[in-house]
Amino acid sequence: MTNGICLERWVIPELLKYYREKGIIDEFGMPQDGFVGHIERLSSLRLEEIKKTGRLELRETLLQRKDQYDNPVKIPIGSKIFGFRKRFASYKRPEMIYSRPDELSRILADNDIYFIMAGNAHPSDTNMTSLLKRILSTIDANEILKDRVHFIQDYDESLSRAMAHGVDVSINNPQVIGNDGQRISTEACGTSWMKDLINNTMLIFTCDGGLADLEIGDDATLNDSFSALYFIIKGKTYEEEVSSLYFQMCEAARIIDDSHKKTELWKKQLSAFLPIICGSRMIADYLNLAFPKNSK
């Protein structure tokens, strides 16, 4: 059963207010009838203005935090912010983006991207703790990465919320292809992508968890167009996936610089996934499961 999120808790307050004013979300936190048409008519300028408040919130939050060098993080106004935040586990592959440090550094510098990474490994997961140390060593060995990649200490809900509100692009690359090249499933639905997407953050993801719902669901119309809703990491081998990830980072950066394409993508994302995201929908699903209509 697909997860959902509490909109009041995770959406930029001004954005949630705007969605309600425009007849997109009702008083129960559910999509109103005709919500897709209302989303299409949203003001792109207003959406941009509200997203700027989210970026400001994130910048102010990062100034109060410490990175891997025990320094507060100051991101220049106008720079792009990419993020990766979650519980660190081997199948989530936090190391993938650092597979080719020199290539990654060129992408960040050429596109004026700062990469914010946050999350915790389970205390008993010694392999992941060692992996995180290797990641930090890779960053430290490259001057551009040292300047543009920040691992934020003391990950908590307030930092997660600020990143959901403020990053331009969120990256999530759990393993979905086995060593034999066949599709596998390792990721539960999760909610980080929901928190990002409803706050008008673009997604670079492998097709898994909740984002796979449109690929494998029953709605043929959405199935035909789901791939245009986010930047999919593809490939039959690990190296192919790394190449795809880097390519999609450049594509996402290009879209950020095109205000029209960016806001149109925001609207398409919201139209497709809003019914899945709403926590009220999830509650209704559980109630219907526990208390079927035909039961006593």
Cα three-residue angle 270-203-123, rounded to 5 degrees: 120
Q: How would residue 296 be classed by pLDDT, with cut points 50, 70 and 90?
A: low
Q: Is the residue at 234 inside a domain?
A: yes
Give the chain's radius of gyration (CA, Å).
Answer: 19
CA diameter of the chain: 67
Q: Output 87 or 114, whichever has higher pLDDT.
A: 114
Q: Is the residue at 30 inside a domain?
A: yes
Query: Which residues lie closer than 8 Å to 234 by C-beta, 6 or more apart?
Result: 240, 241, 244
Q: Is the residue at 292 inside a domain?
A: no
**CATH code of the domain covering residue 81:** 3.40.50.2000
88-102, 220-234, 236-250, 251-265: the lowest-pLDDT one: 220-234
* pLDDT tens per residue across span 108-149: 999 999 999 998 888 888 898 899 999 999 999 999 999 999
Q: What is the mean pLDDT of residues 182-207?
A: 84
Are the C-beta atoms of 205 and 211 separated by less than 8 Å?
yes
**Structurally, how many domains does the chain consist of?**
1
Q: Is the residue at 289 inside a domain?
A: no
Dihedral of CA 205/207/210/211: which sign?
positive
Q: Is the residue at 25 inside a domain?
A: yes
* Structural domain boundaries, residue 164: 7-281
Q: Is the residue at 75 inside a domain?
A: yes
Are the C-beta atoms of 38 and 32 separated by less than 8 Å?
yes
* pLDDT tens per residue across span 216-239: 544 434 444 445 688 989 888 899
Residue 214 has pLDDT above 60, yes or no: no
* pLDDT tens per residue across span 167-181: 999 999 888 888 787
The tokens for 3 are 């997860």
Q: Is the residue at 291 inside a domain?
A: no
Query: Which residues lie closer than 8 Å to 165 by C-beta, 6 or more apart?
Result: 12, 53, 54, 55, 57, 58, 199
Q: Is the residue at 131 inside a domain?
A: yes
Q: What is the mean pLDDT of residues 64-70?
A: 96
